[in-house]
Amino acid sequence: MSSDSLILFSCIAALAAIILSIAYAKLPPFLAIFLGTILAGLIAGVPLEHIAKSFSKGAGGILGESGYIIAMGAMLGSLMANTGAADRLAEFIITKTSSRLLPWVMAFTAMLIGLPLFFEVGLVLMLPLIATVSARSGQSLLRIAVPVLAGLTTLHALVPPHPGPIIAITTLHADMGLTLLLGIVIAIPAVIFAGPLYGKWLSHKPSLATVTQLTTLPASVPVARSPSLPLAIGVIILPALLMLARSLSLYIFNGQSALAQFFDFIGEPLIALTLTVLVALLTLGWRSGIEKKQLGEALTASIAPVAVLLLTIGAGGGLKGVLVEAGISQSITHFTHHTHAPLLLLAWGIAVALRQATGSATVATTTTAGIFAASFQGLPPLESSLIALSIGAGSVFFCHINDAGYWMIKSFFDLTLKQTLWIWSLLQNIVSLIGLMMVSILWWVLI
């Protein structure tokens, strides 16, 4: 067996071992992933001393990016739920929207909130609203949650300033404004099919009837003073505004100016979310009349449900680190050099393969864009933009057990492995395939 085939086989063997360990041995996911990682490293021939180091580096990297964000998001969700802010937002949405249109409004809300946010940030911000709208409207949790998930993940894959699209645009020297416009055009049908339509179908599936509530929502705390609607809206969109200001400042101010550096600092996701929690603590928490001790206990309690999730996400990052150390990206690149597929399909397919192997949309996007930048130089702006979007669509195909998002959805909605595949992995397939179809149509019409 060639070294490339051996590396790909090690990846498949690790995924199979992880699934069996969780489904049949009932091991905790983070332990199953760790054992699968060791198996992958041994099969791929990674030196023994490098397996543990690569695992630690990969786990630390993903937790450094996502762990603090998830923890702060859990505290913000606790404040939104405990102080009545989520109730106020839900009441506004429900009273202004017919029952039939509610899933569509939730999808639109997720797209607006998720435009400048990382997927993880948008998800933790929307969780209290999902639960409250579902409970107060009487609609199933899936009818409300799936459109939100579709809106967030589609923008994350296709629309700058999310990291994947930005990487593809800069690497391929595509036009930012053109790619943004085309990305929104492609995102709208992808969200429609993967969101309200798919959510309606899932809500009637008998095997998903047990999905009725979220697991991370805190118990309610008596509130003496409910927040106003403008305040509730202001708090939930504050992180989005800070990150959007950061993106706009890159074009408005000189990169070395004090203003540019200030907006770059406050728009960093970690800082933006921390500032939002502090603002929510002052304006929603203390202002509502909740005792400070009680509020502090509620914030501390909100962290506990995400502890196991953080371990699992870290283990997934460790698996990615070992596979990257083994050379999974290079192996897939070697295989692609022997194919003669159309450019769009080739870009999408490479991104799909890298996503399945590494569990990272960013790694898939970065590597695929690098391959195309090296192999197909001097492409016209429109072609570069469409290839960048095709890569973005491929980077979210079939999210599974080596990705942090998979474990976030499974944990927050208390799902089985099979239920998570139905609700999340297949939802991302719809986004990916609709994205590829729309890119192909635009290529045929415009080029």
Q: pLDDT for 50-108, tens place per residue?
A: 898 988 988 888 777 667 877 887 788 778 777 878 778 778 888 888 888 999 999 99
The pLDDT of residue 427? 96
Residue 193 exposed, middle or buried by CB count within 10 Å (0-12, 13-18, 19+): middle
Please give the C-alpha separations between residue 179 and each of 111, 161, 443, in angstroms, as whole numbers: 17, 11, 13
Mean pLDDT estimate for the chain: 83
For the stretch 176-232, pLDDT in tens is 778 878 998 999 999 999 999 999 999 999 989 888 888 755 444 555 567 888 888
Mean per-residue pLDDT for 249-277?
82
Nearest partner of 362 among 318, 401, 418, 317, judged by Cα: 317
For the stretch 162-174, pLDDT in tens is 667 877 887 788 8
For the stretch 332-389, pLDDT in tens is 667 666 666 688 998 898 888 878 876 777 667 776 776 677 566 677 889 999 999 9
Domain borders along the chain are 3-446
Helices 229-252, 102-114: crossing angle, 10 deg rounding:
40
First to last CA, the chain: 42
| Phi, then psi, of 82 in degrees rounded to 5 | -70, -35
User: Percent of the chain at pLDDT above 70?
Assistant: 89
The pLDDT of residue 426? 95
Mean per-residue pLDDT for 235-244?
81
Mean per-residue pLDDT for 262-281?
87
The pLDDT of residue 174? 85
120 touches 69 (CB < 8 A): yes
Q: What is the 3-state secondary structure (H, E, C) of 273-289?
A: HHHHHHHHHHHHHHHHC
Residues 6+ apart with CB under 8 A from 427: 146, 149, 150, 153, 194, 198
The pLDDT of residue 75? 83
Residue 306 has pLDDT above 60, yes or no: yes
Residue 435 has pLDDT above 70, yes or no: yes
The pLDDT of residue 65? 64
The pLDDT of residue 439? 96
For the stretch 116-157, pLDDT in tens is 566 876 787 788 889 888 988 889 999 999 999 999 999 889
Q: Which residue has the higher pLDDT, 255 or 356?
A: 356
pTM score: 0.72
Distance of CA 208 to the CA centre of its chain: 22
Residue 2 has pLDDT above 70, yes or no: no
